[in-house]
């Protein structure tokens, strides 16, 4: 309850600062906020769009969160998401029955995400390479690799601005509007992470390794295995985020500039911080992000410049994410000092 109260407090502060920014530029902040809520939640169509935009963020938020629980700062979700998207798309070249086609695409994209996380684990555990450095490098490798495949190998021969579209039998069925049954995948993954981390022995080992590696080792827990498990699970979640963008959202393809995949991997970090790196909190954080993204269009129709909309969104997100970010900094400082003493 203390964390919930803290989150609500910083949300109010962020909204007030955002309102001040709009007021200084001569805009009516409260009518603008009303437009944002109306555009995101005002009717069924808007709500379906908000939920649809939230699903990928749930999965990339889980990627970052499970890494934090293992004592890792994993920012590789962007690259793993891109690989998952292109592998899921490529499965459209296979000839399989409709139901099996979707399952195969998810399975292969998940394996691709795990494969992209393996070098991070190997470099971290065998050579001591900081995961921030390795994941940033692999993100760029994935970006240019996927861009090459999208433009040179998977491009639609008629519409060159995107790849071919995946066959209908490989898509998530539509629930209503923009929302598809990818909703079940995102919710099930979040619930699995919650159950695994708090109600399974291996999940306990991950959390123990992240809180105190030396104590975990003394208790017989393999810190290396715990970190590897966290990275592999995160790789699957991030890859499924990319797969959802291709199999569960229009245009059921990848645009030649990768714009429809966006920055889900990086935005997932903010979502995880807002959700306090807890799977259930991440669900709320992702919905909050989806609300901001969908409601921004309605704010624009009221004459609010897009730059100001981004500033207001950024202010609110920074306030929301700051408490958890500061907590992580405080947790990492003693660990860094302990390593220096040990050396």
Residue 242 to residue 248: CA distance in whole angstroms: 10
Angle formed by the axes of helices 306-342 and 264-274, nearest 10°: 70
**Contact criterion met (CB below 8 Å) for 51 and 290:** yes
Residue 187 to residue 32: CA distance in whole angstroms: 31
Report residue 324's pLDDT band, with 50, 70 and 90 as the boundaries: confident
Residue 251 to residue 257: CA distance in whole angstroms: 14
Question: What's the pLDDT score for residue 86?
Answer: 98
Name 170's Cβ contacts closer than 8 Å, sequence gap at least 6: 91, 92, 96, 98, 101, 102, 105, 247
Report residue 268's pLDDT band, with 50, 70 and 90 as the boundaries: very high
Mean pLDDT of 233-251: 97
Mean pLDDT of 313-342: 72
Residue 315 to residue 192: CA distance in whole angstroms: 32
Percent of the chain with pLDDT over 90: 73
Mean pLDDT of 97-112: 95
Residue 107 to residue 109: CA distance in whole angstroms: 6
Pick from 91-100, 296-305, 327-336: least confident = 327-336
Residue 64 to residue 241: CA distance in whole angstroms: 13
Question: What's the pLDDT score for residue 340?
Answer: 40
Question: What's the pLDDT score for residue 338?
Answer: 45
Report pTM: 0.92
Total count of residues recorded for the chain: 343
Percent of the chain with pLDDT over 70: 97
Residue 342 has pLDDT above 70, yes or no: no
Pick from 23-27, 52-56, 77-81, 329-333: least confident = 329-333
Mean pLDDT of 134-146: 97
Report residue 159's pLDDT band, with 50, 70 and 90 as the boundaries: confident
Query: Which pair of structure tokens corresponds to residue 291?
Result: 């609300």
Q: Please provide the DSSP assignment of 185-207 as one string.
A: HHHHHHHHHHHHHHHSHHHHHHH
Question: What's the pLDDT score for residue 341?
Answer: 36
Structure-token match 């704010």, residue found: 299
Report residue 227's pLDDT band, with 50, 70 and 90 as the boundaries: very high
Report residue 264's pLDDT band, with 50, 70 and 90 as the boundaries: very high
Pick from 18-27, 175-184, 327-336: least confident = 327-336
Q: Work out the mean pLDDT of the chain and round it to a whole number.
A: 91
Q: Please write the tens of the pLDDT for every residue from 39-49.
A: 899 999 999 99
Question: What's the pLDDT score for residue 337?
Answer: 46
Report residue 144's pLDDT band, with 50, 70 and 90 as the boundaries: very high
Burial 22-31 (b: 16+ CB within 10 A, else e): beeeebebee
Question: What's the pLDDT score for residue 309?
Answer: 83
**Contact criterion met (CB below 8 Å) for 163 and 247:** no
Residue 229 to residue 225: CA distance in whole angstroms: 6
Report residue 10's pLDDT band, with 50, 70 and 90 as the boundaries: confident
Q: Please write the tens of the pLDDT for every residue from 269-310.
A: 999 999 999 999 999 999 999 999 898 888 887 777 878 888
Q: Please provide the DSSP assignment of 217-237 as one string.
A: HHTT--HHHHHHHHHHHHHHH
Residue 28 to residue 77: CA distance in whole angstroms: 37
Mean pLDDT of 61-73: 96
In Å, what is the CA distance from 53 to each residue of 111, 114, 152, 157, 293?
24, 24, 28, 29, 8
* Domains delineated in the chain: 39-342 (1.10.3470)
Question: What's the pLDDT score for residue 21?
Answer: 87
Burial 231-260 (b: 16+ CB within 10 A, else e): bbbbbbbbbbbbbbbbbbbeebbbebebeb
């Amino acid at each position: 309850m203390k964390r919930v109260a803290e989150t609500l407090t910083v949300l109010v502060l962020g909204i007030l600062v955002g309102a001040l920014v709009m007021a200084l530029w001569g805009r009516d902040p409260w009518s603008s906020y009303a437009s944002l809520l109306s555009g995101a939640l005002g009717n069924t169509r808007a709500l379906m769009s908000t939920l649809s935009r939230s699903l990928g963020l749930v999965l990339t938020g889980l990627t970052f969160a499970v890494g934090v629980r293992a004592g890792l700062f994993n920012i590789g979700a962007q690259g793993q998401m891109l690989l998952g998207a292109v592998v899921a798309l490529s499965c459209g070249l296979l000839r399989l029955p409709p139901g099996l086609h979707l399952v195969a695409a998810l399975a292969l994209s998940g394996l691709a995400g795990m494969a992209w996380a393996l070098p991070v684990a190997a470099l971290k555990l065998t050579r001591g390479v900081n995961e921030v450095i390795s994941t940033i490098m692999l993100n760029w490798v994935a970006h240019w690799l996927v861009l090459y495949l999208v433009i040179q190998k998977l491009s639609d021969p008629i519409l060159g601005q995107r790849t071919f579209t995946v066959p209908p039998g490989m898509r998530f069925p539509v629930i209503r509007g923009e929302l598809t049954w990818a909703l079940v995948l995102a919710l099930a993954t979040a619930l699995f992470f919650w159950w695994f981390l708090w109600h399974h022995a291996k999940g306990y080992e991950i959390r123990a390794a992240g809180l105190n590696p030396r104590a975990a080792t003394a208790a017989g827990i393999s810190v290396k295995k715990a970190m590897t498990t966290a990275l592999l699970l995160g790789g699957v979640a991030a890859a499924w985020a990319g797969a959802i963008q291709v199999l569960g959202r229009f245009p059921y393809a990848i645009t030649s500039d990768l714009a429809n995949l966006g920055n889900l991997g990086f935005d997932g970090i903010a979502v995880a911080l807002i959700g306090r790196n807890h799977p259930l909190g991440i669900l709320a954080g992702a919905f909050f992000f989806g609300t901001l993204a969908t409601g921004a269009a309605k704010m624009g129709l009221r004459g609010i410049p897009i730059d100001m909309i981004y500033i207001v969104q950024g202010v609110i997100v920074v306030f929301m994410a700051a408490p958890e970010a500061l907590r992580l900094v405080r947790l990492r400082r003693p660990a860094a000092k302990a390593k220096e003493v040990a050396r």
